[in-house]
Amino acid sequence: MKLHIAEMLRAQREAHVSFHTPGHKRAGADITELSYSDNLYAPHGVLAEAERDVAHILGAEKSYLLTDGSTCGVFSMLDCLRAAGKKRVAMSAFSHPSAYHACEVMGLEPVFIAQKTAYGIPVPPTEDALSSALEGADALLLVSPDYYGFFPPLAAAKALCRAAEKPLLIDGAHGAHLHFTERYAGKYADLWVDGVHKSLPALTQGAVVSAAGEWADRLGRAVKRFRTTSPSYPILASVECAVKYPRNEAIEAASEAFKLRHGCLKNDDWTKILVPFGSLGARACALLEENGIYAEFNDGNYVMFYLSPCTREEELEQLGALLDGLPRGEVAEDAEVGCVPIYKEGA
């Protein structure tokens, strides 16, 4: 498949004297919006073509490339609610800070979904909990999958929102690798974010926000409010490339086999491997780091290893060989959720 942005960057003339930003005055990939490189604020050339392809792959009416992380996508989605006159959003108290900061900025009131925790991990909300929270709200915002690789009841959420004629928003900061599957946010939501840089091979901050149907134009106006007017072309090119990156079923299967072999937490997402170390997590991380292996986080109960289609099977094997020699502690059932901040008024 054509990589519009990368090919445009590759085709640049060698003789390029820069009397434009950025100030480093070198051409290469880090250019600005020039006659041939399009304009993200009003795309009509390579960026429009890239966004069109991305929308097609993600099953969206419109997709917008972001160089400002999923944070920009969450703000843009919630701005759509504000613009549509919505006042209250049912959401998890374990949402990312961007969600409640955006609520604060947009004057939206969070209505928290009843949700339990176990072993320091938020348990996905039940259908009943979604239904009760939605009764007192104008829209539903879900995180799917969460940082631990669990999914909310997506089909039930979609049915509830459809029946109540309320929009469903999904923060898929950790789910960009799912667009090949039935659990993909775009199969359920009216508005959704893909954190492309987290689970697909995009540069840090690369993301996409997408809309279905009638939300597309409103989302187009929202991203104009929040996207930078100096987008990074290396990030833009990497997002297009990452969305077009082929599925790697070999590493997906290797991850699931690894989880079984090494006594990992049973979750629903191959990109997130959780090893129960209890209070010995910090020690395990230190020993792994001595061997050049770095985990995503240690929440005091579980150490999490984040994979992508670019993870190599030999790297998993290297991790597995080291894990076998590391002592594990007991995981504490009543541990506090360690890896996501809980909503606090004014925080």
Ligand X SMILES: Cc1ncc(COP(=O)(O)O)c(C=O)c1O
Q: Which residues bind ligand X (CB under 6 A)?
A: 69-71, 74, 96, 98, 143, 147, 171, 173, 195, 207
For 251, what's the count of Cα atoms within 13 Å in the CB-facing half-sphere? 20
- Report DSSP state, residue 178: G
Q: Which is nearer to ligand X, 74 or 140 (CB)?
A: 74
CA angle 83, 112, 305 (to 5 degrees): 100
Q: What is the 3-state secondary structure (H, E, C) of 106-117?
A: HCCEEEECCCCE
Amino acid occupying residue 220: G
End-to-end CA distance of the chain: 44
Bridge partner residues of 142 (DSSP) = 170
Q: Which is nearer to ligand X, 37 or 308 (CB)?
A: 308
Instruction: Give min distance, CB of 158 to ligand X, in A.
Output: 19
**DSSP readout, 134-146?**
HHT-SEEEEESS-
Q: Which residue is nearest to ligand X (CB)?
A: 69
Length of the chain: 347
Q: Are 169 and 214 in contact (CB under 8 A)?
A: no
Q: Which is nearer to ligand X, 151 or 254 (CB)?
A: 151
Q: Which is nearer to ligand X, 64 or 323 (CB)?
A: 64
Read off the tokens for 180. Answer: 């090949």
Instruction: Give min distance, CB of 325 to ligand X, in A.
Output: 31
The rounded distance, in Å, linking the Cα atoms of 121 and 299 is 9
Q: Which is nearer to ligand X, 69 or 276 (CB)?
A: 69
Instruction: Give min distance, CB of 195 to ligand X, in A.
Output: 5
Read off the tokens for 216. Answer: 């597309």
Instruction: Give min distance, CB of 314 to ligand X, in A.
Output: 28
The rounded distance, in Å, linking the Cα atoms of 254 and 271 is 11
Beta-strand pair 272-276/207-211: unpaired
Q: Which is nearer to ligand X, 76 or 98 (CB)?
A: 98
Instruction: Give min distance, CB of 313 to ligand X, in A.
Output: 26
Q: Which is nearer to ligand X, 170 or 254 (CB)?
A: 170
Q: Are 83 and 226 in contact (CB under 8 A)?
A: no
- Report DSSP state, residue 92: -
Instruction: Give min distance, CB of 73 to ligand X, in A.
Output: 8
Instruction: Give min distance, CB of 117 to ligand X, in A.
Output: 16
Read off the tokens for 140. Answer: 């539903």
Q: Which is nearer to ligand X, 73 or 309 (CB)?
A: 73
Instruction: Give min distance, CB of 31 to ligand X, in A.
Output: 23
- Report DSSP state, residue 65: E
